[in-house]
Amino acid sequence: MNKLAEIQNQIHTESLDLRCLDRYLRSTQFENAFSMANIEDKRQLEKQIKTKDLWRLRQKVKNILIDTTDLDTLSVENLRIKASELSVTNYARLSKLELVAELRRAYGKKEKTVS
């Protein structure tokens, strides 16, 4: 009976993971990123979907969205929100120019870990 419970648990966990992936693929954030992505980015997104790697998929989507967003045009408040999401240290004390530089650096590091 213990083996049966393990199998049921495993199937349940896998189905929840797939449901989570499905929900993310239907989100407007993903749809926007996919529509803005270039051919290589779309290939990488498809690879992450096929491997069911939701964490890397989310990171890639964030990178696509930031690459297509001109950081220089964002307000300091929006830059700070993005810096907070990326765990940029002392983001609240940085000037706009420093925030843009730190965000570009942080997204560069994220891109290297995602690819």
pLDDT tens-digit readout, 41-60: 999 999 999 999 999 999 99
What is the CB-side half-sphere exposure of residue 86 using CA atoms within 13 A? 25
**pLDDT level of residue 109 (50, 70, 90 thresholds):** low
Q: Which pLDDT does position 1 carry in this prediction? A: 65
Is pLDDT of 113 > 70? no
Q: Which pLDDT does position 115 carry in this prediction? A: 44
- 3-state SS, residue 96: helix
Distance CA 91, CA 95 (A): 9
pLDDT tens-digit readout, 6-18: 999 999 999 999 9
Q: Which pLDDT does position 82 carry in this prediction? A: 83
What sign does the CA torsion over 25, 30, 36, 40 have?
negative
Q: Which residues constitute the domain of residue 10?
A: 2-114
Is pLDDT of 108 > 80? no
- The string of DSSP codes covering 14-42 is HHHHHHHHHHHHTSHHHHHHHHH--HHHH
Percentage of the chain beyond pLDDT 70 is: 90
Our count of domains for the chain comes to: 1
